């Protein structure tokens, strides 16, 4: 019996199970989802002279408000409209959420702790994360609603415009360290962080993290005052919960990548203490940095309005794409020196 | 189906849409470009004009306030002016000043309401919350004067219901200082926010000629460079005594309409300050009514500084005739036309609200623009469906 338990524990703690399932994978993504939306509402509330979530667990400022909301979503009837393509309508949000979470498996959360290591793990991340917009378009199409259709198409246009500078600025990061292996990239930053070596690439990448995940002022595909809820207009219940959570999970994955590539990953690492803390600490450092990136992104909601889609496309193609190319050149210069 | 029709889809925005208000916008869009937009109004028609025919003259006062909840004082004033013109009386000077003060406070919080709606339509929940929050001190101020937060029914034929409470001017000054400070924050986060500028400047341009031709009124007209304001063109109440200048902008776009409202808030604050410093002493109800009040109640009125509405006003009968009044409400020129046949109820009341005159702009301005410009232009017009539908 004890042997069985030990085996199970070993299996769970082995990186190729722990990373996708617990941290930084599914469990922490869900926990973060509950926290980050609460934090977003709380911060916006502070700026807007109101409380934000308050009454669910009042001593802690309503911190489990989102748990309650999720439970409500779970028990709410998921309505599938008669004219919708039922199979696609149900499956697309699940695929969307999965596609947003999947890239996380590539992220190393410690010098020795990763699900797998590859020379091209950066490319694997980018390839996996670019799957998601296709499912948003599918969501918009399957709903058989004009607002959903417009929202899905908007997402399609924007994804195309955002992917190019995102990939180019990520490649600028790779050129900086001369590798596409995320573990090597992280280790290369033990003394100087990537953001100091190539601030331009870091800035462009960070902006695109926020743009890709519909943060304000680029919350365009779901623009409430224009197209109700964009692609997700017809959704209810837990399917809506998945749709709404997808962009936050994507922000989580991209923030982790940003941390690993530009914010020094787990550096600076305190000296080993010889306790159980040692394997946990690098992961905690990565998480804290990624969380800070996410909190900045969510605070933008309280500051900005919303750009029009043509303006966002123009910003992406006319400003950010040339800037990302320039950052590639900068990386070449810095990398040589 | 023609080729042009095949290219476009019809988008029904509202009445169940987060940004439609109580109306439906039927938009025909080609890709992201709006080819045509038809506003479908009347969802909140409440037969105010017909209802007025079965109510007494005094009962109509709260009735005309209902259509424009954000701007009740000016609607109240417009109706009362028409009744007074029918009667041939004029409120005493102190009452006229008090009416002006309340009308301007109402204008300020109505403009804040409009700016808040524009903010949320552009996607800024902060602008919305700030504007709606900062209406509160003004509403409190009005409550102190009238006893009600929004539906004041403060102006009655021949005067006003209550006198100025002691210390009102100082508290008003405090509120205005607060609002001036806040307007600076607004400028940084909202009016001059690069995103707001990108979304409003050059969007929904209404030329001077079109504004005049379409009969547009209020801030929307003045944002196109036409210096027309009833307060100046046909002064009423205390406005002739006050140093008033008309706020205009030349550009005629959404940003100009927003800025006209912002500047009018500042102008209104100045007007209230001036009116409060100049306010004359004297009665607050016309002799015709105050002499009908029994002496015991007149003492009570002196002591409480408020009016006991006399029976003569409750069952007011007005000699046959007709009267027209115009006031500058927050959203533009408001016209009342009142016909009396000598009975206790108005024979006919016609009420032309500024929103109704501006609804034509939806069709005119929202054309060949982007889908995202629909809420931006809608918000900049400060259009209020219940006011238009009456």
Q: Do B126 and A226 touch (CB under 8 A)?
A: no
- What is the spatial distance between Cα B167 and Cα A284, in angstroms, rounded to a whole number? 59
Tell which residue, B189, B352, B331, B182, has the closest CA to residue B260.
Answer: B331
Question: Given an 8 Å threshold on Cβ–Cβ distance, is B195 in contact with A224?
Answer: no
- Is the confidence at residue B225, as pLDDT, over 70? yes
Scanning B28-87 for CB atoms below 8 A from A yields 32
The answer to whether A161 touches A312, Cβ cutoff 8 Å, is: yes
Q: Best mutation site among A154, A211, A216, A225 for testing chain B: the one with the most B CBs within 10 Å?
A: A225
In this prediction, residue A336 has a pLDDT band, given cuts at 50, 70 and 90, of low
In terms of C-beta distances under 8 Å and separation of at least 24 residues, what long-range contacts does B80-83 make, across chains too? B80/B155, B80/B156, B80/B157, B81/B236, B81/B325, B81/B327, B81/B336, B82/B323, B82/B324, B82/B325, B82/B336, B82/B337, B82/B338, B83/B57, B83/B157, B83/B316, B83/B318, B83/B323, B83/B338
Write the DSSP symbol of residue B306. Answer: B
From the list A216, A225, A307, the residue facing B18 with the nearest CB is A225
Q: Which residue of B has its CA nearest to A223?
A: B123
Q: Do B193 and A223 touch (CB under 8 A)?
A: no
DSSP B11-26: EEE-SSSTTT-SSEEE
pLDDT band at A56; cut points 50, 70, 90: confident
What is the greatest pairwise CA distance in chain A?
64
Read off the pTM: 0.89
Residue range B269-307, pLDDT digits in tens = 999 999 999 899 888 888 888 888 888 888 888 777 888
Buried b (16+ CB within 10 A) or exposed e, B298-325: eeebeeeebbbebeebeebebeeeebeb
Mean of per-residue pLDDT scores for chain A: 87
Which residues of B fall within a CB distance of 8 Å from A306?
A: 122-124, 195, 199, 372
Question: Given CB atoms, is B122 within the 8 Å cutoff of chain A?
Answer: yes
CA atoms of A117 and A62, how far apart (whole Å): 40
Which residue did the predictor score with more confidence, B163 or A18?
A: B163
CA distance B220 to chain A (A): 22
Q: Are the C-beta atoms of B101 and B272 separated by less than 8 Å?
A: yes
Contact A309 B125 (CB under 8 A): no
CB contact under 8 A, B122 and A225: yes
Q: Are A168 and A324 contacting, i.e. CB atoms less than 8 angstroms apart?
A: yes
- Contact yes or no for A308 and B130 at CB 8 A: no
Cα–Cα distance for residue pair A235/A240, rounded to 1 Å:
5
What DSSP designation does B159 have? E
Between the ranges A12-16, A22-26, B273-277, where is the mean pLDDT highest?
A: B273-277
Please state, for a pLDDT cut of 70, what percent of chain B lies above it.
99
C-alpha span between B73 and B330 (Å, rounded): 10
| Min distance A215 CA to chain B CA atoms (Å) | 12
Q: Where are the alpha helices (DSSP H) in A178-230?
A: 182-188, 194-197, 199-212, 224-227
- Nearest-CA distance from A101 to chain B in Å? 27
Is there a contact between A304 and B193 if contact means CB atoms under 8 Å apart? yes
pLDDT, residue A117, reads: 83
Name the residue range of residue B286's domain. Answer: 3-389
| Edge-to-edge order in the sheet of strand B33-40 | B9-13, B24-30, B33-40, B369-370
Is it the case that residue B318 has pLDDT exceeding 70? yes
pLDDT at B112: 93
Look-up of token digits 């002591």: B303
Q: What is the pLDDT of residue A108?
A: 87
**Mean pLDDT value across residues B380-384:** 90
Identify which of B18, B119, B198 has the shortest CB distance to residue A224.
Answer: B18
Asked if A44 has any chain B CB less than 8 Å from its own CB, the reply is yes
Evaluate the omega torsion of the peptide bond into residue A217 and state whether it is cis, within 30 degrees of 0.
yes
CA distance B35 to B4: 10
- How big is the A-B interface in CB pairs under 8 Å? 83
Q: Domains in chain B: how many in total?
A: 1
Rounded distance between C-alpha atoms, residue B198 and residue B153, angstroms: 41
CATH at B140:
1.10.645.10
Better-predicted residue by pLDDT, A278 or B24: B24
Nearest CA in chain A to B25: A226
Contact A48 B373 (CB under 8 A): no
Nearest to B245, CA basis, from B234, B257, B258, B231: B231
Does residue A6 sit at the B interface (CB-CB below 8 Å)?
Answer: no
How many angstroms away from the CA of B225 is the closest CA of chain A? 27
Is residue A304 over pLDDT 70?
Answer: yes
- Residue B324's pLDDT is what? 93
Residue A30's CB is within 10 A of a number of other CB atoms, namely 14
Peptide bond connecting B15 to the previous residue in cis, omega within 30 degrees of 0: yes
Q: What are phi and psi of B180, to 5 degrees?
A: -65, -40
Q: Provide the 10 A C-beta neighbour count for residue B88.
A: 11
What is the pLDDT averaged over residues B351-379? 90
Mean pLDDT score, A190-210: 88
Angle (CA) A321 A323 A324, round 5°: 65
Are residues B127 and A306, on separate chains, in Cβ contact within 8 Å? Answer: no
- Dihedral of CA atoms A246, A250, A253, A257 in degrees, nearest 10, equals 180
* H/E run at residue A139: helix A132-142
Per-residue confidence (pLDDT) for residue B1, from 0 to 100: 61
Supply the pLDDT for residue A8: 85
What number is the average pLDDT over the span A267-292? 80
Instruction: For residues A252 and A248, give the distance between their C-alpha atoms in angstroms, rounded to a whole number.
Output: 6
Average pLDDT score over residue span A88-98: 91
Q: CA-nearest residue of chain B to A216?
A: B123
Using a CB-CB cut-off of 8 Å, the residues of chain A touching B178 are none
Minimal C-alpha gap between B356 and chain A (Å): 23
pLDDT of residue B337: 94
Query: Cβ A309–B193 below 8 Å, yes or no?
Result: no
Compare CB distances from A146 to B11, B370, B375 and report the shortest one's residue. Answer: B11
pLDDT at B97 over 90: yes
For residue A268, give Cα distances in angstroms to A122, A263, B20.
22, 10, 52
């Amino acid at each position: 019996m004890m042997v069985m338990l030990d085996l199970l524990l070993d299996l769970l703690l082995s990186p190729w199970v722990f990373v996708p399932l617990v941290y930084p994978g599914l469990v922490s993504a869900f926990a973060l989802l509950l926290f980050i939306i609460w934090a977003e509402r709380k911060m916006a509330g502070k700026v807007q002279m109101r409380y934000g979530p308050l009454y669910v667990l009042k001593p802690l400022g309503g911190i489990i408000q989102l748990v309650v909301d999720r439970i409500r979503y779970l028990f709410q009837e998921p309505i599938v409209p008669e004219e919708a393509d039922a199979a696609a309508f149900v499956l697309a949000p699940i695929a969307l959420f999965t596609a947003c979470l999947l890239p996380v498996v590539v992220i190393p959360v410690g010098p020795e702790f990763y699900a797998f290591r590859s020379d091209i793990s950066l490319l694997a991340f980018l390839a996996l994360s670019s799957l998601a917009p296709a499912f948003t378009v599918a969501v918009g199409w399957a709903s058989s609603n004009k607002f959903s259709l417009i929202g899905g198409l908007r997402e399609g246009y924007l994804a195309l415009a955002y992917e190019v500078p995102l990939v180019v600025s990520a490649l600028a990061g790779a050129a900086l360290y001369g590798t596409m292996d995320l573990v090597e990239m992280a280790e290369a930053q033990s003394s100087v962080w990537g953001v100091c070596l190539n601030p331009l690439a870091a800035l462009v990448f960070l902006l695109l993290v926020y743009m890709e995940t519909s943060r304000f002022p680029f919350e365009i595909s779901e623009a409430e005052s224009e197209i109700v809820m964009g692609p997700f207009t017809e959704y209810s219940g837990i399917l809506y919960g998945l749709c709404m959570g997808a962009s936050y999970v994507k922000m989580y994955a991209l923030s982790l990548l940003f941390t690993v590539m530009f914010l020094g990953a787990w550096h600076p690492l305190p000296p080993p203490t010889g306790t159980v803390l040692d394997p946990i600490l690098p992961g905690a450092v990565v998480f804290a940095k990624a969380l800070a990136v996410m909190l900045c992104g969510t605070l933008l909601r309280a500051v900005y309005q919303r750009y029009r889609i043509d303006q966002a496309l123009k910003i992406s193609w006319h400003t950010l794409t040339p800037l990302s190319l320039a950052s590639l050149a900068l990386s070449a210069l810095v990398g040589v020196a | 189906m023609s080729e042009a029709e095949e290219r476009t889809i019809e988008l029904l925005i509202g009445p169940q849409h987060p940004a439609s208000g109580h109306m439906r916008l039927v938009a025909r869009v080609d890709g992201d470009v709006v080819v045509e937009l038809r506003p479908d109004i009347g969802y909140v028609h409440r037969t105010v004009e017909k209802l007025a025919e079965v109510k007494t003259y005094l009962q109509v006062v709260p009735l005309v306030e209902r259509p424009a909840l954000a701007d009740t004082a000016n609607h109240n004033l417009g109706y009362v002016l028409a009744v007074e013109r029918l009667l041939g009386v004029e409120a005493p000077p102190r009452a006229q000043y008090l009416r002006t003060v309340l009308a301007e406070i109402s204008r300020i919080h109505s403009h804040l309401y409009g700016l808040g709606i524009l903010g949320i339509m552009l996607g800024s929940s902060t602008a919305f919350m700030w504007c709606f929050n900062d209406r509160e001190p003004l509403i409190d101020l009005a409550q102190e004067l009238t006893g009600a937060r929004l539906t004041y029914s403060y102006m009655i034929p021949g005067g006003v219901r209550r006198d100025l409470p002691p210390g009102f001017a100082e508290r008003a000054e405090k509120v205005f200082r607060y609002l001036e400070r806040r307007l600076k924050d607004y400028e940084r986060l909202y009016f001059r926010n690069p995103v707001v500028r990108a979304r409003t400047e050059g969007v929904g341009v209404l030329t001077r000629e079109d504004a005049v031709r379409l009969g547009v009124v209020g801030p929307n007209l003045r944002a196109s460079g036409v210096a027309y304001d009833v307060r100046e063109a046909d002064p009423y109440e205390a406005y002739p005594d006050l140093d008033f200048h008309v706020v205009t902008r030349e550009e005629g776009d959404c940003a100009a309409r927003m800025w006209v409202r912002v500047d009018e808030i500042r102008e209104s604050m100045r007007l209230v300050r001036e009116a409060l410093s100049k306010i004359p002493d004297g009665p607050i109800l016309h002799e015709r009514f105050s002499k009908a009040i029994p002496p015991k109640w007149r003492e009570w009125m002196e002591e409480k500084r408020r009016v006991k509405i006399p029976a003569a006003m409750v069952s007011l009968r007005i000699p046959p005739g007709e009267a027209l009044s115009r006031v500058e409400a927050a959203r533009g020129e408001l016209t009342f036309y009142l016909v009396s046949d000598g009975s206790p109820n108005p024979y006919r009341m016609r009420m032309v609200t500024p929103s109704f005159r501006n609804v034509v702009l939806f069709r005119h301005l929202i054309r060949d623009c982007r889908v995202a410009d629909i809420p931006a232009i809608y918000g900049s017009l400060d259009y209020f469906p219940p006011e238009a539908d009456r």
